[in-house]
């Protein structure tokens, strides 16, 4: 019998005495059918741990409501403490504090995935398991309990834990699409990205000003900074964008939002609406509003171009308005459309909308 086997038997016994349900596991998975239904007693431990098997912990109901928050994304590990309540954590020596443990009876498992389908945050409850110390990861890294913090598994209401995880996942998702920081002529675009995110999150019935700013700061910090100066400048930018956007929305003014955000980060709008339960109708209305604003802005710009190009505005003997353009009188009817179309193309390199 190997030393590892004896050590893992002792760990399984401790878990059983504490009301948890350990199971033998392979390098990452249980590797046997029906593992979800296993309820091993202390007397049965030698029969199940006989060749250095890892120790898996059944989450949820079999272990008295103990659930595992698995922080799959590195960004989630960095900012988890801003959203999650202090509690006992575990992980690996090479990836510490990547699992946060809570007691939350009745809560269901849930995954928050990015636009590429990769998991960002996972809540493991009944029907799922997690490898714990003294197990070994396939790369040879040892699993550990971070008992040095002195924390025990915190008890938390399921609805509150789910809300906190949704906020964390939102920040991680936003961080995943954050444009690179500007260095010389490279990178940039974070200001416009922040405007789009803020405009989307601050719509009525969504996150509100305080939470939006918290999420944005966490997302920006999750990607790291070259130095404190860059961090302070970025935070000041966010501290201006969020209240300004909220004020503009309150005043009924138009701001960028979902459509602009979708251009910056394809798939992010759908995921956020799914996670938070925001209606598709709201997104469609928001998009139509922004399209309307774009048409209005185009009309305003076109009027400006026309006033700069026209030599004179006058009324003929019949009272019909005309414009003098290149020494030629042009009636201000549908006949002037070709002129306006030419102006838009010369100024912006695109066609004018028929509306």
pLDDT tens digits, residue range 27-85? 767 877 889 999 999 999 999 999 999 999 999 999 999 999 999 999 999 999 999 99
3-state secondary structure of 77: helix
What pLDDT was estimated at residue 282? 46
Q: 95-103 and 154-155: which strand pairing?
A: parallel
How many separate helices (H) and strands (E) can be counted in the chain? 11, 13
Q: 154-155 and 110-113: which strand pairing?
A: unpaired
> Rounded to whole angstroms, how far apart are CA atoms 212 and 261?
15
Q: Is 105 left (phi over 0), alpha (psi -120 to 50) or beta?
A: beta
Q: Which residues of the chain have pLDDT under 70?
A: 1-3, 28, 183-188, 280-298, 300-302, 304-305, 307-308, 310-311, 317-318, 334-337, 343-355
Q: Are 74 and 50 in contact (CB under 8 A)?
A: no
User: Token pair for residue 82?
Assistant: 């801003």
Q: Are 48 and 40 in contact (CB under 8 A)?
A: yes
> Rounded to whole angstroms, how far apart are CA atoms 173 and 175?
5
The residues with which 89 forms a beta bridge, in sequence order, are 100
Q: Is 277 left (phi over 0), alpha (psi -120 to 50) or beta?
A: left
Task: Using only the alpha carbons of the chain, give its radius of gyration.
Answer: 29
What pLDDT was estimated at residue 137? 92
Q: 129-132 and 312-315: which strand pairing?
A: unpaired
179 Cβ neighbours under 8 A, 6+ residues apart: 187, 188, 189, 190, 193, 264
Q: Domain ranges in the chain? A: 3-158, 177-278, 299-348
3-state secondary structure of 286: helix
> Rounded to whole angstroms, how far apart are CA atoms 308 and 171?
46
């Amino acid at each position: 019998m190997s030393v590892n086997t004896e050590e893992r038997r002792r760990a399984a016994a401790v878990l059983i005495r504490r009301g948890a349900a350990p199971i033998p596991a392979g390098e990452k998975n249980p590797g046997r059918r029906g593992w979800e239904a296993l309820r091993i007693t202390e007397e049965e431990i030698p029969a199940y741990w006989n060749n250095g098997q890892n120790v898996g912990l059944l989450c949820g109901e079999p272990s008295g409501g103990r659930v595992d928050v698995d922080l799959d994304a590195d960004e989630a590990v960095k900012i988890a403490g801003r959203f999650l309540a202090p509690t006992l954590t575990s992980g690996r020596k090479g990836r510490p504090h990547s699992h946060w443990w809570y007691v939350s009876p009745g809560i269901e498992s849930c995954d928050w995935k990015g636009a590429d389908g990769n998991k960002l945050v996972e809540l493991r409850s009944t029907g799922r398991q997690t490898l714990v110390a003294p197990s070994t990861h396939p790369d040879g890294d040892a699993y550990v309990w971070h008992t040095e913090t002195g924390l025990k598994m915190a008890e938390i209401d399921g609805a509150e834990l789910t809300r906190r995880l949704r906020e964390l996942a939102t920040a991680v998702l936003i961080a995943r699409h954050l444009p690179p920081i500007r260095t010389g002529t490279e990178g940039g675009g974070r200001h416009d990205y922040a405007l789009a995110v803020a405009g989307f999150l601050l719509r009525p019935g969504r996150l509100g000003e305080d939470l939006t700013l918290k999420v944005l700061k966490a997302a920006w910090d999750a990607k790291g900074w070259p130095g404190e100066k860059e961090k302070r400048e970025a935070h000041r930018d966010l501290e201006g964008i969020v209240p300004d956007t909220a004020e503009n929305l309150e005043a009924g003014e138009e701001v960028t939002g979902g459509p602009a955000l979708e251009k910056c980060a394809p798939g992010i709008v759908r995921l956020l609406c799914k996670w938070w339960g925001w209606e598709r109708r709201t997104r469609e209305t928001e998009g139509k509003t922004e399209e309307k604003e774009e048409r209005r802005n185009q009309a305003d710009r076109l009027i400006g171009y026309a006033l700069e190009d026209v030599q004179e505005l006058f009324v003929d003997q019949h009272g019909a308005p005309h414009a003098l353009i290149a020494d030629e009188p042009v009636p201000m009817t549908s006949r002037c459309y070709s002129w306006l179309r030419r102006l838009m193309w010369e100024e912006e390199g695109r066609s004018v909308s028929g509306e």
